[in-house]
Structure 1
Amino acid sequence: MNLQYIAVDLGRQRILLVANSMDELNRLILSNEGQHLIKRQAVWLYRIETQTLSQVQQKMAKTGASFGQLVRPEN
C-alpha cells in the first residue's frame, strides 16, 4: 500500500501540504513555505492511500467540494 501524508486546514476545506512520509510532512510544516501555506493555524494530519488522494484531489478540482465533504476519516 502506497501512502501519502497530508495536512488539511482546520475546517477540512483544503489540502495544504502533501508528503511521502510523516517526517517529510513535519519538515514541510515547519519550513518557511509551509508556515506561509498554513498561515500558522492548527491543521489536521492524515495518512491516505496515494490513489485515493489522487481521486479526492481530482473530485475537489472538478466539483469544488471540500476535503471534509469527500472524505470521512476513520477514528
Structure 2
Amino acid sequence: MSPWFRSVLSFRPDPALMSGVPLLYQLHALSALALFAVWPFTRLVHLLTAPLGYLTRLYIVYRSRDAQLGARPPRRGWERVR
C-alpha cells in the first residue's frame, strides 16, 4: 500500500498498485480519502482553529435586558413549593 499512497500524494495515482491489497485495506484507504475530501465542508474544520482561540478567550457574561429579571436577588438552594 505504501507505493500506492506515494503515488496518490505525488498526484499520479496508479490503481494497479492496489490490486493485490485485501478488500478491508482498500475500504480503509477509500474511507480516509473520503474523510479528507469532505473535511473542509464540515464542522470538523474547527478542530484546527477552535482550540487556540479558546485559550485566550474571555468569559461571556449573559445579562437580561428585562429590568424585572435582573432586580430579583439570587436565591440559594431549592425554592419552596406552596
- Global fold match (TM > 0.5): no
Q: Which has the higher contact order (CA 8 A, sep 6+)?
A: 1
TM-score by length of 2: 0.26
From the two aligned structures, give the one with the greater helix fraction.
2
Structure with higher Rg: it is 2
